[in-house]
Amino acid sequence: MLMTAALLTFAASCERPDPTPVTYPISVQLVADGANLAVAGINVTLSDASGAVSYEVKTDENGSASFEVPAGNYTASATYKTAEDGKRFAYNGTNSSIIVAEGSTAFKIDLNKAVSQQIIIKEVYNGGCPKNDASGNFFDDMYIVLYNNSDLEADASDIVFSICLPYNGNGSNKFLVDDKLLYEEAGWLPAASAIWWFNSSVTIPAYSQIVIAVFGAIDHTQTVTASVDLSNPDYYWMSNTEISTVFKNAKYTVAESIPTAHYMGGYPTSAGNAWVLSNASPALYIGKMDRAAAEALAKDADNYDRTLLTSAKFPQTNVVDAVEIWSQANVSKGIYRFPASINTGYIALTNGLGHTIYRNVDKEATEALEENNGKLVYGYAGGTLDAATNVGSTDPSGIDAEASIAAGAHIIYSDTNDSSKDFHERTVASIKK
């Protein structure tokens, strides 16, 4: 018996390990909008049913990823992000019904297309600030911030700027007939006072911004302490250089530090000696249109409307982003100037105090970025909401965007096309830190 046991033990110790499992070649094809997404370099992940083992392969030029894996049940997933015509697209898809066995070789992932804007209006400083001698308010220091709300570099070269009529949200609006804007179904927006464009190639890195000085690209704090310094050589300027015979207001000034390549161009579409960006309640929008087309549109006399002052007709399909600002003092008299397809809601501004209109953080999307772990700063207190009176607004995310950016975080801002949800009134201009 002892000898038998010893032989059994010896036999067991000499057993060979299991042979390498049989593998099968399979392909996973990415499909979007009913057709193969023929893009190379997209990561496709294949995970087994337990989630313990996963494989990652990049697609070839046909949008197909090839694997060789053991038999079993798998889930395949892929995400593809891109930017087209100023808009950010994310294609996401999962196929949890992949059964690998002999004879099963071809599978697909149907990707769903989600659209959001890549370039957005992050901040508008138009309400002015108190003068040093308390004799009134200073309004020549307006600026606009554009932000790349994505992890891909953005081409802003073809971004143009304009405003709707009336210039103030509480102004008389002849476009409104039977509670409907005359241009809503006509497919255009008033491009009032001027259309502005970049004269050079402009790129915005991922999760980054550019600042555009509206009138004075100078250090305004030298004369008005509460104002802002717009002389940074990285900033752009809505220059009157090309239209100085019309826009000849003295507030158009520029510091030597601003490179001429950062001088923007523009063309007046309404009467006046400067762009009429309201210091109380403008309806600002940006569009996607190359300079030649924008200039041709602005100069085309047959493309003008005169229902309320004079304005060019800007195609709604070219609009990238918009913000409807109403005066806090005249909210009850405010009238929407954008069709609902462009923007809904409004954000109120108290002017003359150095406040700005600042975009809210998309809390869920920002927190989902793995690179933000430990870098997000909470307890934001930069808004104007008064708990006692419920007047003012703040960022409901509670994330201090500027402090988080300083800590190395990447911020994704809210983009719902509803100004009441996307923006709040901020007490201090972000460039003042």
Q: Using alpha carbons only, give the angle 215, 220, 221 rounded to the nearest 5 degrees.
A: 160
Torsion angles phi and psi, residue 161, rounded to 5: -125, 145
Task: Quote the pLDDT of residue 20.
Answer: 74
**What per-residue confidence (pLDDT) applies to 133?**
92
Ranges of each domain in the chain: 22-116, 118-360+413-432
Contact 275, 214 (CB under 8 A): yes
Second CATH level (architecture) for the domain 22-116: Sandwich (2.60)
Tokens 């308390």, residue? 134
Positive or negative: CA dihedral 236, 241, 246, 250:
positive
Round to whole Å and give the CA distance between 349 and 423.
11
Q: Where are the beta strands (DSSP E) in 230-298?
A: 236-237, 253-254, 265-268, 283-288
Residues of the chain short of pLDDT 50, as ranges, are: 1-14
CB 139 within 8 A of CB 227: no
Q: If we measure between CA atoms, which residue out of 129, 104, 61, 101 comes closest to residue 353?
A: 129
User: Are 314 and 297 a contacting pair, CB within 8 Å?
Assistant: yes
pLDDT for the residue 17: 53
The whole-number pLDDT of residue 16 equals: 53
In degrees, to the nearest 5, what angle opens at C-alpha 229 toward C-alphas 138 and 324? 60
CB of 90 closer than 8 Å to CB of 80? yes
Residues 352, 329: Cα–Cα separation, whole Å: 12
Q: For residues 90 and 116, what is the distance between their CA atoms, to the nearest angstrom?
A: 8
Round to whole Å and give the CA distance between 349 and 57. Answer: 51
Cα angle for residues 344, 347, 352 (degrees, 5° grid): 150
